[in-house]
Structure 1
């Protein structure tokens, strides 16, 4: 099975050279860009070999982390079908484990992997002058290549499952553009900063943080060895190997799961699986039925998928300006989670308008308003609560002081629950024209503006959360019992706003259900 997959991969590459003139020209341009970028990286590593120890450490970690991040994330944003989609092998009935190993080896056969191998070899060669760092660098180079290849496969397979429609591929391109725009101030700062001592100090802080992250473990290992700290070097190498193991297991499980999924149709649309989907999972009640339909929308509708994909990008865009102006990077660790909670709760502010004709089911069944409101918020709670549980400890760890953990929990819970509550009201009271089901997330509906509903939900959440933010500020400044008070206040205030919003939104839905149905049919 492995040999079959490798032969298919070689056939794919050879067929790519037989494309039309415009497509072939595009491949040549991309290849030239990749070769030029590889040459630049090799030249940079060569220059770092003769630089001072501090400059070599900073440059190696920063450049290497960007290389790893780019190699893993760019495949997630590539248009077109995945040439190594594990679902395509489902009709063959071959052993799933053999397909997984074959796909992993086939991923090595390609121009991007060859260029990554060249870059990793140049990185290892740049440490050849140091007998302590040379063996560490050689092992690190192997881990860099393997992690990059498997990470790229994991990202591309994830994208093949999640970003299946044309609209979502358009969204991926916009996300890439936003990331590039966010990186522009950073690049300009590097180009114009020169030998600015403040800039060098800031870059050193970023490199120190990346050295102890999955992006920089392998790249920073020879740096520690060259500094005479062999224990730290081997620890970082071990952590890099652990990261590789996690990526490999995740890729293996995802590839096995994909082979149990229906193969994609020729038009690129996802095939339907047997069963009732989320309706099989949710209880057979009013709230359960509405929650099941909402889950189906959130997991399959391109409009919801795009909104979810943008949330982490927005969190990064908010942090970048503060990082550029020199805000202490530990403080930046506290920003992304509340921002993501804010936008996740805000996504519901026009949820009812996205139903279009489907709202007829609720009106015809005389669904109580409270059941409609509660059922719609279940998917957001299922997404938001685990997100807070995972990222709140990471935020406290990044800040470097675990005493802020209750404050992070309190602020995040308050922002999420308050946003859900206010959005539950505005979606029924102030709906506005939305993109139709099946349309691109970037298509523009022809109707009146919905700025009032957007503003009420967004700024209302911020205003309601101000008391908890004030308590959190006292906790950061004075410590003591303020963090626990922040947690308690966030839970109480968030639940209160959530219950009031659901109650008020339910009353509006019950009273104006026919008018809401007419609105969704028109818009």
Structure 2
């Protein structure tokens, strides 16, 4: 039965790739990225195994393995491209026992691109212990335990978020927890590593982190081979028990979560408004541009699926302030990183319209008017946010002379992003949570391949905004105020030009491809 589910999964993947060439492009980029990352990790592991001593090897293995598990755990919450092609809801009508269902879901997690890449990387970690043969032998079964732990953690998080998605209060709690974890990761690690005054170099800090993580469910499996190599048999047995116990506990908790989630269904919410109250529609200009502008801005201000993008606005400055300090380069460039996130936030925003996109097509709104309205809606939120971050950072650091250069790079990037999105959103649609669902919900039909499309759009944004970004970097390095002012002018001019070109090109594409986009949206699994 599990093999049948896996075959169906790959049949669905093949159908999605043949239906859209852009899906195929994303899949190819995903495969290339996975191969490149695995190759890079293997080269690094080989270098570490022959150049570092036992203590450094132990620390690197535990810290890297813990980071891998953390990525699998948070991935379903913050990455919209996580693989939801086969989930519990879609398998529910089939005569599967709960154990068969769990094996099928775990199998699909292992056989996806992230699962294969993780398995290959974890298997390559055995190279770390080639100088200690007994540790290398022990590392093989521990790799299996570690990879299965990653998959079960991911599936448990997916099941829990799906179960919460129908409850407004659960959604709010879940979102708060995730945001808190992300924002506090930097401060927590900085505080823990700063407890030891003697930790003046990177390896000492990694050793401290590895020692702590090795006694937790996060890193216990990765710490066992190191203890065996060091001859610390009692700690190795204790950590083995922690690792195996964690795997067993995850299986049991996941089983209970699946059983509890089986009876949970989304609950629609309604809101009563005053008769005749038009909100933004009564304020914005009339016509296709004004109506689309009001609708887009309303989504940015009230739709949780759009608001999720705005989480990153305070996130980057907070993380950089704790990790590199307020005098660091990263903190000073916080506005640029915020601009990058906002630039790609609308790369496929027609998807969020869902089947309601039919009303856009039937209204007679031209593609160009639709593009202008969406650009103005996103810009009404994004441009003030970027400017505010740049000004606040300059006020905190006292580097007012750098403000024009930072604004030039940031505004150039976000404006170019709006122009690129005006074209990409007329070409691409991807599965997204439905209106009213949790923005963190795993959606059927999502694949790693569709998630990789955003990186194609990101590359286009970075390439087109390169003139302003390069001038900004040169200005900051040389301290040249005229170059900073030039970067600001170039950023605004180039960004405005890309927006105009993007609206014209995207509008023409949308006029031709609108019905096709609607058909692809309707074809997404519900």
TM-score (norm 2): 0.51
Secondary structure of the structure 2 residue equivalent to 1:511: helix
User: What are the within-5 Å matches in structure 2 for residues 63-462 of structure 1?
Assistant: 166-191=170-195, 193-194=196-197, 271-274=272-275, 275-317=277-319, 320-323=322-325, 329-449=327-447, 450-462=450-462
**Cα 1:457–1:486 shift into 2, 3 Å:** same
**Cα 1:311–1:283 shift into 2, 3 Å:** same
**Cα 1:306–1:401 shift into 2, 3 Å:** closer
**Cα 1:383–1:363 shift into 2, 3 Å:** same
Q: Look up the match of 1:504.
A: 505
**Cα 1:392–1:269 shift into 2, 3 Å:** same
Displacement of 1:314 after TM fit?
4.4
Contact 1:349 1:423 in 2 (8 A): yes
Displacement of 1:341 after TM fit?
1.5
Contact 1:165 1:302 in 2 (8 A): no
1:1-32 per-position Cα deviation (integer Å, ceiling 9, x unaligned): xxxxxxxxxxxxxxxxxxxxxxxxxxxxxxxx
TM-score (norm 1): 0.51
Displacement of 1:391 after TM fit?
3.0
1:62-101 per-position Cα deviation (integer Å, ceiling 9, x unaligned): xxxxxxxxxxxxxxxxxxxxxxxxxxxxxxxxxxxxxxxx
> Within 2, Cα distance between the matches of 1:486 and 1:317?
26
Q: Look up the match of 2:514.
A: 513
> Within 1, Cα distance between the matches of 2:316 and 2:403?
23
Q: Which moved more, 1:269-278 or 1:279-288?
A: 269-278
Displacement of 1:182 after TM fit?
2.8
Q: Which moved more, 1:267-276 or 1:424-433?
A: 267-276
> Within 1, Cα distance between the matches of 2:359 and 2:432?
19
Contact 1:407 1:472 in 2 (8 A): yes
Contact 2:313 2:385 in 1 (8 A): no
How many positions carry a matched residue from both structures? 290
Secondary structure of the structure 2 residue equivalent to 1:434: coil
Q: Look up the match of 1:203.
A: none
Displacement of 1:167 after TM fit?
2.9
Contact 2:320 2:330 in 1 (8 A): no
Contact 1:333 1:396 in 2 (8 A): no
Secondary structure of the structure 1 residue equivalent to 2:426: helix
Secondary structure of the structure 1 residue equivalent to 2:300: helix
> Within 2, Cα distance between the matches of 1:312 and 1:457?
23
Displacement of 1:466 after TM fit?
2.4
> Within 1, Cα distance between the matches of 2:319 and 2:329?
15
Q: Look up the match of 1:83.
A: none
Secondary structure of the structure 2 residue equivalent to 1:349: coil
Q: What are structure 2's unaligned runs of at least 5 residues?
A: 1-166, 203-266
Q: Look up the match of 2:489.
A: 488
**Cα 1:370–1:268 shift into 2, 3 Å:** closer
Contact 2:334 2:390 in 1 (8 A): no
Contact 2:401 2:481 in 1 (8 A): no
> Within 1, Cα distance between the matches of 2:327 and 2:270?
42
Q: Look up the match of 2:465.
A: 465
